[in-house]
Structure 1
């Protein structure tokens, strides 16, 4: 059993998620689809699904050849109650897989900024205890519409859907909670035009990251612990859940 981490582009890796999984004794299987790694056709042997960010659009197959296969895996995870953590693009894909929609935004939201946690966050398995205002790293231009039944956990004025939960074990984070000391430098190098819209981004990072780290580590540690606690349940659920039918990465009924 392993946690499958889907990486769409170089530089948008799991960052602090990796150490949290390691600390819980979990094995990570990194699937770099940008390098040609093939997504599995089922969740057999997978105890959790982590889907990272990327510059492609969750609402279109254009320039995103693995979109259909990723949505199929996310739908299978939701059906089998396999833990899911979607980050940025991954959160948008989770919303789509659950019956919501990914949509073009009104422009870039890049840099450090607050999100507001709502009342449901107080009893959420991951976000309980998070402050009402949490400073996080934003780096996106699209957003999402949540499906019926999803629980909105955090928001902001610019893009209201910032964190949500679907069911009891799937979370989407529009922001980059996983950020560590290298994340901003890597993102700035990979997306210089985006970074140029936020003067002072690098200078603001040490203080912003220091404030974030205690909350980041608590949330990611809780996710890793939930995955570890549910390992036996997940193994049996994925074995008996029907597999999606894929042909050349396209989902077939």
Structure 2
């Protein structure tokens, strides 16, 4: 697990930053933004980013920030900007809507705002200690900024942009803020760890989203043939889970008809934005969500189509249970890939793995354990397909939820 430390010029990384990251078992590497150098924009292996300031730090305020930071924000990689590094963060965000500034004067106490109590990073934090130096320089804040710490006359001393980027502007004097800063860095390291699986997926797919549809357009007939095997009734609710650019959504809409509902769900906002650009909102709604914690009522879905997702999840068994929770009685789950297992293994220069979850002898008990009955299994050149039906629910069991109305989910991106 790696955290990138972005600095505007050569210099030693603050010992506190290095110490906290090392204690959390994280590797770190430094990216310098010196004149004439263009750091790589590749996020491969990057689970978090810390942006440090420096004397005269203003890099990227007019250029929109370095590409590495812009890519991190787009892929929702957790970012923590400290001191004047917050200028770089705000320059990489959305267009400015307001300005935080204050007139010089006596030091004022920095206080957490009520919003900090529900913030993913600041929740549980103590109030900052006395002896801090609030930032006084103007800072242009993106429209979606949430202020997390402020002081009288000097607003926005700490803030969050979107759901994955934080800025902390105030500084300690004579080490007065070290314990508080150590706690902040420790919580950031814990957040990076907790989000690492999703971060890796978003980083991988975000930079591929723009070309994804064109690259795999030839697979559309295979997707249509796979969806046809679901045999859903008109008026039902169908989900394309891990939808990417939503290639299965038109075929799902054709099955459930105008009176049915189609949802395309993916964890990568850039993929959903690409799906919207390619007109998939004509066939259903797009929703950014974790496929193991679906924001859907129990027993509300009639069919789940999932292509190339299950065996890449950190806990596929939990995913199968969650998919059973949201499925109605006799709901259909179709696991699909436009290539067979042997075909994919050969493409990667590997033999078939006997422990592969998608092997029939492994998949059948995994499905049964989550409440599904496997009624069709095909693994051949040109297609992998496994069709399962939800078995009868046990009275009072975890899958015994009652049908409920689906929440409205607008197009993401």
User: Taking structure 1 as the reference length, what is the TM-score of the superposition?
Assistant: 0.68
Say if 1:115 and 1:136, in contact at 8 Å, map to a contact too: no
Residues matched between the structures, number: 208
Measured against aligned partners, the alpha-carbon deviations of 1:118-152 in whole angstroms (never above 9, x if no partner) come to: 00111222222334454364385533232222210
Bigger RCO of structures 1 and 2 (CA < 8 A, at least 6 apart): 1
Are residues 124 and 134 of structure 1, via their aligned partners in 2, closer, same or farther at CA, if it must alter by over 3 Å?
farther
**Contact 2:3 2:29 survives alignment (8 Å):** yes
Q: What's 1:17 paired with?
A: 17
Question: Which residue does the alignment assign to 2:32?
Answer: 32
Who is 2:190 aligned against? 225
Higher alpha-carbon deviation: 92-101 or 25-34: 92-101
Closer/same/farther in 2, CA of residues 230 and 90 from structure 1, 3 Å limit: same
**Do the aligned partners of residues 152 and 52 (structure 1) sit closer, same or farther apart at CA in structure 2, a change above 3 Å counting?**
same
C-alpha distance 81-11 of structure 1, shift in aligned 2 (>3 A): same
- Aligned pairs (5 A) from 1:82-101: 82-101=77-96
Indicate if the aligned counterparts of 1:2 and 1:45 stay in contact, CA closer than 8 A: yes
Aligned partner of 1:43 in structure 2 is 43
What's 1:159 paired with?
Answer: 154
Distance in 2 (CA, whole Å) between partners of 1:10 and 1:240 is 32
Shift of 1:13: 3.1
Distance 1:132 1:228, change over 3 A: closer
1:114 match: secondary structure: coil
Change in Cα spacing, 1:18 to 1:107, as seen in structure 2 (3 Å) is farther
For 1:109-188, what aligned pairs fall within 5 Å after superposition?
114-132=109-127, 134-135=129-130, 137-138=132-133, 142-176=137-171
Distance 1:23-1:113 versus aligned 2 partners, 3 A rule: farther
CA distance in structure 2 between the aligned counterparts of 1:97 and 1:153, rounded to whole angstroms: 19
Q: CA deviation at 1:227?
A: 0.9
Could you tell me how far apart the structure 2 residues matched to 1:100 and 1:14 are?
31
1:219 is displaced (CA, Å) by 1.5
Q: Quote the residue 1:234 is aligned against.
A: 199
User: Would the aligned equivalents of 1:117 and 1:153 in 2 still touch at CA under 8 Å?
Assistant: yes
Deviation at 1:164, TM superposition (A): 0.6
Residue pair 2:100, 2:155 contacting (<8 A) in 1 also: no
| Native 8 Å contact 1:154 1:163 kept in 2 | yes
Equivalent residue number for residue 3 of structure 2: 3
Aligned residue in 1 for 2:354: none
Q: Write the mapping of 1:69-84 to structure 2, written as runs, cut at 5 A.
A: 70=66, 72-84=67-79
Indicate how the Cα distance of structure 1 residues 59 and 45 shifts in structure 2: closer, same or farther if over 3 A, else same: closer
CA contact (8 A) 1:121 1:154 kept: yes
CA RMSD of aligned residues (A): 3.3
- Whether the aligned pair in 2 keeps the contact of 1:31 and 1:37 (CA below 8 Å) is no
Question: In structure 2, the residue corresponding to 1:31 is in which secondary structure?
Answer: strand
Alpha-carbon spacing, 1:80–1:217, altered in 2? closer, same or farther (3 Å)? same
State the distance in 2 between where 1:12 and 1:138 align: 22
Q: Could you say if the C-alpha distance between residues 50 and 132 of structure 1 is closer, same or farther in structure 2, counting changes exceeding 3 Å?
A: closer
CA distance in 1, matches of 2:15, 2:126: 22
Larger Rg: 2
Alpha-carbon distance in structure 2 between the residues aligned to 1:168 and 1:60: 21
Distance across 1 between alignment mates of 2:34 and 2:104: 23
- Number of the residue aligned with 2:174: 205
Q: Distance in 1 between matches of 2:59 and 2:99?
A: 8
